[in-house]
Amino acid sequence: MRFELKKQLVTLIPESPEERVMLMAVWRQLIDCNGVSRQLTPIGEFVPARNHPAQFAIEGAGAEELPEFPVVVVDFACRVYCDICNRMQDLQPGQSIPPCCGKLMEFVD
């Protein structure tokens, strides 16, 4: 993972498929698509001479602060998408349609 620092902007650039997957997992933890964003807060200390990793806690609103959505369970395999952020997700029978960007995802035609 490559980092770039320009004033107050930190850019993380994945350099392998594994790093892309990990960065996407962190991104989804931080950005909820339901109007609740979280932030990374440094914890402990970072001393490169000691070879310690830099650690951050994810802080912000918890699940109890998210809006409630109706539970819609699908009875067939399908794909749903968010028409705002274009995220797609495959669902299996018995799974519920997830919310994204403040509303339930929609079926792909």
Residue 22 in any domain: the answer is no
Residue 100 in any domain: the answer is yes
Residue 89 in any domain: the answer is yes
CB 12 within 8 A of CB 19: no
Q: How far is CA 21 from CA 16, 34, 43, 97, 104, in A?
A: 9, 21, 24, 23, 24
Residue 96 in any domain: the answer is yes
Span 51-107, pLDDT tens digits: 778 888 888 765 555 567 788 999 999 999 988 788 899 999 999 998 887 788 999
Residue 84 in any domain: the answer is yes
- Give the per-residue pLDDT at 77: 94
Counted domains in the chain:
1
Q: pTM score, two decimals?
A: 0.54
Residue 74 in any domain: the answer is yes
Q: What does R_g of the chain's alpha carbons equal in angstroms?
A: 18
Give yes or no for residue 109 having a pLDDT over 80. no
DSSP states of the chain = -EEEEETTEEEEE--SHHHHHHHHHHHHHHB-SSS-BEEEEEES---GGGTPPPEEEEEE--GGGSPP----B-SS-EEEE-TTT--EEEE-TTPBPPEETTEE-EE--
- Give the per-residue pLDDT at 57: 84
Residue 94 in any domain: the answer is yes
Give yes or no for residue 29 having a pLDDT over 90. no
Domain that holds residue 73: 68-109
- Tell me the mean pLDDT in the region 3-11: 91
Residue 56 in any domain: the answer is no
